[in-house]
Amino acid sequence: MAINRNFELLLHDNQLKVTNPRLSVLKLIADQEAATSQPMLEKVLGKEVDRVTLYRILKTFEEKGILHKIIDLNGTANYAICSSDCTAHNHRDEHFHFNCSNCHKVYCMDDFHLPAIAMPPGFTAATLSLAITGICNHCNQ
């Protein structure tokens, strides 16, 4: 399967071994239009991947810059595939996230960039994260 090959390459590139649990996690997250919540991952993968393994996979993926962890406004962790310019040492996360208050999905709005914000004196900004709540395009129609 072509898409699996890509995941294998992705794992290889990050010095990670190719295992079924890891492929399952990547496949599931990549299939979603929105970021996938940790509870959802647990629920869907519950049968085939151990809870603890899932925690560890998400942790290493995040450390390697493969996945992107987004804490939504309820404090729930959500994961999305990092855009290609993310690496372990340089997370690009200046775009914003949209939390649908109806279906609770988290959308990464990669294409929309944030305007510059003036900081108060003494404060230096490193990363920006804009979360917007509202109704998504599916729930709106």
Interacting residues toward DNA by CB under 7 A: 11-12, 16-22, 38-39, 48-53, 55-57, 60, 77
In angstroms, what is the minimal distance from the CB of 16 to DNA? 4
Number of residues engaging a copy of itself in binding (CB under 8 A)? 40
CA–CA gap between residue 105 and residue 33 (Å, rounded): 9
Which of these, 109, 15, 131, 118, lies nearest to 64 by C-alpha position? 15
89 touching a copy of itself, by CB under 8 A: no
* 109, HSE (Cβ side, Cα atoms, 13 Å): 16
102 touching a copy of itself, by CB under 8 A: no
105 and 74 in contact (C-beta within 8 Å)? no
Residues that bind a copy of itself (CB under 8 A): 71-77, 96, 98, 101, 107, 109, 111-112, 114-115, 117-138, 140-141
